[in-house]
Each structure stands twice: as C-alpha cells, then as structure tokens.
Structure 1
Amino acid sequence: MSDDLKPANLPTTGAFVRDTTYINDRVVSSLEPGSAPQGDVIGEMTWPVEAGRYRLAAARACPWAHRSVITRRLLGLEDSISLALAGPTHDKNSWTFDLDPGGVDPVLGIERLQQAYFNRIPDYPRGITVPALVDVATTSVVTNGFSKMNTDFVKEWTKLHRPGAPDLLPDEHADEIAEIDARVYPKLNNGVYRTGFAADQGPHEEAFDDVFATLDWLEERLSTRRYLVGDHITAADIRTFTTLVRFDAVYHGHFKANRNKISEMPALWGYLRDLFQTPGFGDTTDFTQIKQHYYIVHHEINPRGVIPKGPDLSGLLTPHGREELGGTPFGDGTAPGPVPTGEEVPREHSAEVGLPAR
C-alpha cells in the first residue's frame, strides 16, 4: 500500500477503489538463516529471518510506509533491517532514490524501486509501492504486503528485537486490535483517499461521512483511555497515528476532509500529541516531504503544484496531559534509543517549523 497512484488508477467517475493486490511473501523464524526461500508461488513463499539480509524501502511521505518505519524503530530492528528512503515525489515509474548521492541507493545500487520489482517479476504490472522489503543480495522485492510485513516484524523477528521492545500485538488484545483495524482502515486510513479521489459528489460525501463518523467514534473512545487498546501502545495506535498526523497538514485541505481539524477535537488532539511526543512517532515524521508528496504528485487534484505554507504544526509539541488517564507508552518495556545516524528528520521538516531558532 502506498500513495503510488498513477493517473490511470484514479476514477474519472464514481468512487475511488484501491488496488490491494500485493506480493505477500512472508519472512519467518522457522527457517534457518542463510537458507533459500521456501515455495514456488510468488506471494506464498517464505523467507528466513536474518539480520542484514533485507532492506526496507520506504518513503517519509507515505502513511503506509510510515507504519513500517515506526514499527522497525520501536522494536529496535534498525541494526537488522537497513532503511532505503525514496524521495517524496515520483514520476509515472514511481519512487526514486533521489535523496541519495547520485540518485542511487547506496546499498541496493538502484535509482528506482521499480528495478527491484522487475528483478523479482519482470514487467511487474501493478503499482510500485512502499513499503517494500528487498533482498539485498538479489536486489529483488520479497514483499510489499505492508500488513503481513509489519505483523512479521512483531511476531517473527523477536530474536532480533531490542531489549525492552514493546509487545505491539499482545495476544490478549489480538481480537480487539483486529476489530479496530477493520473499522479504521477502510473508513479512515483509506477513507481520506476515498474522500479526496472521489470523482463524483455522492462517493465523496459517503466517504466524507465515513471519515468523520470514525473520528467521532475515536474521539469518544479516547476520552476515557490513553491508548486504543490496553494500557500501552499497540499496532492499533501506529495504524491510526499515520493518518491522524497527516490530517491537518494535508487531508483537511488537499482531500477536502474539512468538517473540522484534529486540533479541534480535544481527545484526539491530546492523543495525537501524546503519540507524536513518544520516541518512534514524531521523530520519524517529515512534514515537508509529506506536503511535497501530496501537493506535487497528486496533480489531478492540485494541478499547479503549489504547496501551502501552513498550517502551524508546533502545537504538536505542547503538553497533552494524557498521563492522567493511566498507562505508559511501552508497558513493561522501554523507549527506543536515539534515531540512528543518517535517519534523522531535519528540524526544518518537523513540527518545530515556525518556532524560534535554537
């Protein structure tokens, strides 16, 4: 899943329907490191968990990739899975490594993520999406199925988790997390896209109502509890955060999801500030790249490519008071360490934009 939406993917009439067909290979702990992938059918093969074997191709702009970046950081997998960051804009051939010297990823040695897809499936016919896990030795995509990929990071990569890594998918809350995702994914995560890419008034209004009914439900739920499930951060919070943090900056204006902003909903605004100030969340959020992507790439919506100067996002750094609701971010675990060198979000791309210089 990504924002890699070519013009041909967008409807000329009716509702926006996302292509959800992925390369759903799995990376599992039951295979010995160094072993070859098991299976013959792409999308059903299994690969071994192995430090250094894979590179996570992501983009700061994309909410789906942002989930994987947060999960990797919270679990302390930075030393085991390296990170390739594509730039925020792309052409019809999709994501490029134009942030790197010479426009080439220094580990994979490619200019376009498309090359890694073609190495796996020649003339791959679908969107070249992020996140994608790439086998470094063959420079070929293992999987771009973001949901299974993140679940495997949590459940299959446990031997390589950092000490104190939180349990993002606790067994006792598995059903509740799945129920929340079944509502939040179609009506909010993808709902903002259905709102913004609808080609007719009726589908736009239907999606609009879905988005704000879900936000109202979350507002009520979070008025009495610090996190969506249990007493610490879980995958449910990560999945919700990446949409909420983009809402006021992009979705409210660009996607016409404008009944109100998140900053105008007390519980959600406090919840968003709480998560944003938690290591792994705000320190992986790049507002400059987010705005560049949506306002430049989606030229069907914003044909002149003008990026709005606002809004002021420094409110994300203000006190939230959510500690009074109980719970702690990492439960019995601990916070991740500093952001690895080379993966830092520049201050001028963060919520500190507009604050006095330090």
Structure 2
Amino acid sequence: MENPEHGTPGVYSAKGKAFERDSRYITTRIMAEPREGTDDYPVEPGRYRLIAAMACPWANRSIIVRELLGLEDVISLGKPGPTHDQDSWTFDLDEDGVDPVLRIPRLKDAYEKRFPGYPRGITVPAIVEIATGEVVTNDFAQITEDFFFQWREHHKPDAPNLWPDDLREEMETVMERVYTEVNNGVYRCGFAGSQEAYDEAYDRLWTAMDWLEERLGERRYLMGDAITEADVRLFTTLARFDAVYHGHFKCNRQKLSEMPNLWGYARDLFQTPGFGNNTDFEQIKAHYYVVHTDLNPLSIVPKGPDLENWHTPHGRG
C-alpha cells in the first residue's frame, strides 16, 4: 500500500517481499529563471513555505540546508509534529493544530488544493506557495539542490559551497551509494518481508557502512576538508542510527558509537551550527516508535539510549 509515513513516498513490503520505495514525486521546480514551456515557479523571497518535520530524515535535510545557506528569512518553515494518522502529516505542534501561515491542519490540504484526489503519499519535505495554498514540489533531493543553485542570490555571504564543481562527478557517485545503501538501506532492513530479504539488506547496509568508516579515516568529511551536500544526506541517517535504526530496524551489528571514524564524523557535524540544533531526538523516537505500529504494536517509545555523548569532543578538527 502507499506509505505516507516517511519523508518520501514508499511501499511497505508484503510478507515474503523486499522493501521497495516509490520514488515518484511532484517534479515542479522553483527556478531563478523559469524555463519556457514548463510549470516552473519563480524564485521569490517570501512566496513559499517549506513544510518539513524534524522527525523525518528526508525532510531534515532541507531544514539543515536552509540554515546552512542562510535562507531562513527568504523561505519560511512550517513543522508538522512527529506523529500523525494514516492520511497526512499534521500540525500537532502548532496552536489549535493549524499551521499559522497556511492556516491548514493537514499537509494533505495543500496537496489536494493543487491536485484534487492526489493518489500517492502525503510526504515531507514539501514546498507550498503561500498565496494559493498549493503544494509546489515534494522532490526532496531536488529541493536541496535547488536551494543551492537557484536561490544563490539570497544566500548569506559566508554560505558553504555545498556543490563544488571540481568534486561534483565524484560526489554524485558517493551520494548515490549513500542513498541506495544507507539512507534507504536501513528501511530495507526494517521493512523486509522475509528473512532472506532482511539478510540481504543487512549485508548490503554493513558493506556500505564499512566503506564509509574506511573513507572517513582518510578525510574529515565525505569529499575532503569541507562540508558538502553529501554530508548533509548522510548525517540525517547517522543521527537516527543508535536511537532508532539499530534496534527498531534491526541494523544491529554495531552501534554508530562503536565505529570510531563514523562516530567522530557524525559528532563533528552535529556540533556544527545547522546540524545539531536541527536534530530533535525526542521527535525522532516518537515518530518511528509510535507511527510504525506494524513493527511496534504497542507504540512504546524507549527511554534510551543516552544521547548526551553527541556533545563529547569529536577529535576531527
């Protein structure tokens, strides 16, 4: 069935099947120079609202990139709560359960405003045009790429170069492996429909984790000495690893905190402005353990682990 419970459309695997993610998105772009003959929207400060739940790793990326680039006063941010019904992400954290700018209780309302009877999952992140209340896009990978390339005129003066030209080809390869084997790999473990599917997913995940551990023994960040988009994409999975994926998704060969290079790297990012301040472990745990009743029928949220260790010195300066 369609899965509205994560940051991107997905399909829960049936018994005996491997997990497969539905990667169909609303492909509308927001462009500095809209292309003729397309449904592109124009870049315009104050016109759009990013709807992104802190609990969701895919949405969390957009929150981090927005801050790294200094777009907080250009694109407003609405935050759905960590738990929701089968129908839509909802604004549980706002007064009266209504987004204060869009004046809607459910993100689904913005999807339906533009696409009546929208057939797929109601996912975050999503960008909504404030004046019309219509969703523009939910293509999570394209959103952060466009924040960098299309909104450049509005970046803060010291914004990091998240897409360095000389590294782009290699970075695309790294990001593809991170996405397929790690970001999505933990879900393949968690929602495997058979022992065989789980075993294969587990082995693929840990092959990739070992590759990352080795790579990060030779450089501070994934692409070298500076933070790039690749680091943002990996971080949101690592931030959830010990708190959720290790136990809830059965990714339990090791804890992240038992892998020296990955653990130091994750803490290095966490302690960088834009990363740790946009990581909410309580919302993360509430989302996975409460919403995934097929994996956790009683919706009991574990009290542990102790996550204060994220603030310890990382030693990667």
**TM-score, normalised to structure 1's length?**
0.85
Q: Aligned match of 1:224 in 212, 218, 224?
A: 218
**Aligned length, in residue pairs:** 314
Compute the displacement of 1:10 (Å): 4.0
**Corresponding residue for 1:203?**
197
**Corresponding residue for 1:30?**
33
**Corresponding residue for 1:336?**
none
**Corresponding residue for 1:144?**
138
Q: Secondary structure at the match of 1:83?
A: strand
Query: 1:228-269: CA deviations, max 9, x gaps?
Result: 003200000000000001000000000000000110000011
1:1-358 to 2 correspondences below 5 Å? 3=6, 9-31=12-34, 39=37, 45-323=39-317
Output the aligned Cα RMSD: 1.6
How has the CA–CA distance of structure 1 residues 138 and 175 changed in structure 2, closer, same or farther, with 3 Å as cutoff? same
Cα pair 1:38 1:47 within 8 Å, conserved: no
The one-letter amino acid of 2:21's match is: R
Cα pair 2:12 2:191 within 8 Å, conserved: no
How has the CA–CA distance of structure 1 residues 251 and 26 changed in structure 2, closer, same or farther, with 3 Å as cutoff? same
How has the CA–CA distance of structure 1 residues 238 and 214 changed in structure 2, closer, same or farther, with 3 Å as cutoff? same
Compute the displacement of 1:6 (Å): 9.3
CA distance in 2, matches of 1:8, 1:281: 29
Q: Secondary structure at the match of 1:105?
A: coil
Q: Secondary structure at the match of 1:122?
A: coil
The one-letter amino acid of 1:267's match is: N
CA distance in 2, matches of 1:311, 1:205: 25
CA distance in 2, matches of 1:16, 1:320: 35
How has the CA–CA distance of structure 1 residues 167 and 220 changed in structure 2, closer, same or farther, with 3 Å as cutoff? same
Cα pair 1:27 1:46 within 8 Å, conserved: yes
Percent identity over the alignment?
58
Cα pair 2:9 2:120 within 8 Å, conserved: no
CA distance in 1, matches of 2:289, 2:5: 15
Runs of at least 5 residues in structure 1 that lack an aligned partner in the other structure: 32-36, 324-358
Compute the displacement of 1:13 (Å): 2.6
Runs of at least 5 residues in structure 2 that lack an aligned partner in the other structure: none
**TM-score, normalised to structure 2's length?**
0.96
**Corresponding residue for 1:348?**
none
Compute the displacement of 1:210 (Å): 1.1
